[in-house]
Structure 1
Amino acid sequence: MSFNQGSRLDTSQVSDRRGGMGGKIAIGGGGLILLIASLLGVPPELLQSLTGAAPTSEQVATDGQELRQECETGADANARRDCRVVATVNSLNRYWGEALPRYNLQYPVPAAVLFDGQVSTGCGSATSAVGPFYCPRDSTAYFDVGFFDQLTDQLGAAEGPLAEEYVVAHEFGHHIQNLTGVLDYSQQDPQGQGSGAVRVELQADCYAGVWAGNATEQMDPATGEPFMQPLTSQDLSDALSAASAVGDDRIQSASSGQVNPHTWTHGSSEQRQAWFSQGYESRDPGACDTFNAANLDRP
């Protein structure tokens, strides 16, 4: 899904902490294990023991000058990944800020952070190796845009803007769950085919689909035009490819050659695709009730 070229971006919704902690950590060998652990639901505070990283007071956000200079319009979002994250965050905040009041819920805007190398969070210290994540303790979504290369090169997802935007939207789905109170189910019932953790992750996929289905109706007041261009069949295919790439069965098969549903935390590739599609086709957050679904394979 591409942004209309003249749309105006609001970089104040994203903090830029890149460059403050040295070079990137390569995803390979142990790094790939960390990435897989993150995608399988290991929280950042537990990953700290794997990374050997400790929180530091030296890391500070930059002044955001690069984002302000480079990420001004939808054309920039179509050309640069960091700008695409900014634009996606803008769109997500617009959609959820309008949608949640219809369900008698307020939408406190979450923080969003771009980082590389290492980042200190309310959930502990994490490195780029853990991939994108949402920390409920500080209501912040964290993104290293280098992860999108790993999504395609290491995990086999298709390239495309909606594949990347799906990842951002999924993490914002966890923010919605933090507001509704269901996010804790992932820790209370942490693994298994029908576990709370799987239901949490599939609902976040569904919320990402809901956003995608509604994104083109949001108007940019600066231009009077839709903020985003209509979704194409290729866009949808790219998003479904990304959802499939981070399915438990596919990751387990790639890492160990075996699939063990008893240890699932995110759901199968087929389930993740199905719930994203459920959200996209219904365009209704109310259709994302994974917790009362008798069959997670067929929403």
Structure 2
Amino acid sequence: MRFNPRARLDTGRMGDAGRSGARMGGGGGLPIPGGLAGGGIGGLIVLVIIVGLTMWLGGGLPGGSSSDGYDSSRMSDTGRYDSCQTGADANSSPDCARVAVENSLVDYWSATLPDQSDATFRPEQKVETFTGGISTGCGQASSDVGPFYCPTDQTIYLDTTFFQDVLQGQLRGPSGAFVEPYVLAHEFGHHIQNLLGTMGRVKTQQGPHSDSVKLELQADCYAGMWARSATTTKDAQGVVLISDLTKQDVQQAIDAATAVGDDRIQQQSGGGVNPDSWTHGSSKERVAWFLTGYRAGSLADCDTFAPGAV
């Protein structure tokens, strides 16, 4: 994956809370939401709390406030992304690459969502990195939870040590430049679901045909949609952001989706495969739905809630 050196980056939606959560507020004890890891990347890593899932899946309150007084504007930023100005920076810095991917996702969905649905894209979402732990609009989170999206404050939270320590170290998943973009695209897919009202459809929380699995597989499909068109996305001046996305990049996304399938995680933990406890879907399903989005490129084709789809 290569970024266009002439592209200009927008860091306005990026933040870094530093070690042990410089960002403060909220913490009302709500369960961490279902992103790649938050809804159950597995008993292998953390004790995932899913009781009360539907409380926060209803979508939260707009604008960064919640019923417990959480204010997403109250944060202390480390300035981690201040030096990220161009696509050339993204080619030389993983932090700046993260900014470029976020910019690409915003550009893609700002056009695709209103074009393919009645929903309006609102770019209020944020990407917040941290180390150790953080307080969010959906409660406290540690780095063990992995990347997740909180609908209450419309923020994607990411401890960047996850990829080496957990995905590669514990799950024996892939390394590579496109692994994190796949994860970010999946989490951004949850933001799209929030805007579409899909999260409110989640009633069943576990099992191979549960609403939780359908939600996660749809986010994988949305990630595939973005990957299909990533090289057409542009910065605010109309300059292409991503100049090259290779078959190897797509394969890295497939390998990552395989690594975080519920069955694969259960196998890695040394136990038997128990579909009744699944929250995200099997490796085969995750790959299949990512490829559905990548090949078809439409919200309609990503309807995992359609009868018989999952």
**What is the deviation of 1:42?**
9.8
* Counterpart in the other structure of 1:217: 232
* The one of 112, 115, 131 aligned to 2:130: 115
Gaps of 5+ in 1: 23-31, 47-55
* Counterpart in the other structure of 1:14: 14
Over 3 Å counting, the alpha-carbon distance change for 1:76 and 1:152 in structure 2 is: farther
* Counterpart in the other structure of 1:142: 157
* Counterpart in the other structure of 2:100: 87
- Which structure has greater helix proportion? 1
Residue 140 (structure 2) pairs with residue 156 (structure 1):
no
> TM-score, normalised to structure 2's length?
0.80
In 2: Cα distance, 1:292 partner to 1:211 partner: 21
* The one of 80, 88, 104 aligned to 2:118: 104
In 1: Cα distance, 2:77 partner to 2:173 partner: 33
1:203-241 superposed Cα distances (whole Å, 9 cap, x missing partner): 00000000111111123354x542102321100110000
Q: What amino acid does structure 2 have at the position aligned with 1:267?
A: G
In 2: Cα distance, 1:41 partner to 1:283 partner: 34
* The one of 216, 226, 250 aligned to 2:240: 226
Matches within 5 A, 1:168-207: 168-186=184-202, 188-207=203-222
Contact persistence 2:44–2:266 (CA under 8 A): no
**What is the deviation of 1:118?**
1.2
1:66-94 superposed Cα distances (whole Å, 9 cap, x missing partner): 3112x222232233322222111111111
In 2: Cα distance, 1:272 partner to 1:173 partner: 14
1:44-74 superposed Cα distances (whole Å, 9 cap, x missing partner): x99xxxxxxxxx99x96334533112x2222
In 2: Cα distance, 1:41 partner to 1:243 partner: 25
**What is the deviation of 1:244?**
0.6
Over 3 Å counting, the alpha-carbon distance change for 1:130 and 1:42 in structure 2 is: farther
* Counterpart in the other structure of 1:132: 147
Over 3 Å counting, the alpha-carbon distance change for 1:38 and 1:145 in structure 2 is: farther
In 1: Cα distance, 2:309 partner to 2:77 partner: 48
In 1: Cα distance, 2:277 partner to 2:140 partner: 25
* Counterpart in the other structure of 1:283: 297
In 1: Cα distance, 2:276 partner to 2:134 partner: 32
Q: What amino acid does structure 2 have at the position aligned with 1:274?
A: A
1:174 is paired with a residue whose SS is helix
In 2: Cα distance, 1:208 partner to 1:90 partner: 14
Gaps of 5+ in 2: 23-41, 57-69
In 2: Cα distance, 1:227 partner to 1:97 partner: 15
* Counterpart in the other structure of 1:50: none
> TM-score, normalised to structure 1's length?
0.83
Over 3 Å counting, the alpha-carbon distance change for 1:235 and 1:36 in structure 2 is: farther
In 2: Cα distance, 1:140 partner to 1:221 partner: 22
* Counterpart in the other structure of 1:256: 270
**What is the deviation of 1:21?**
4.4
Q: Relative contact order: is structure 1 or structure 2 higher (C-alpha 8 Å, sep ≥ 6)? A: 2
Q: How many residues align?
A: 274
Question: Identity over aligned residues, as a percent?
Answer: 45
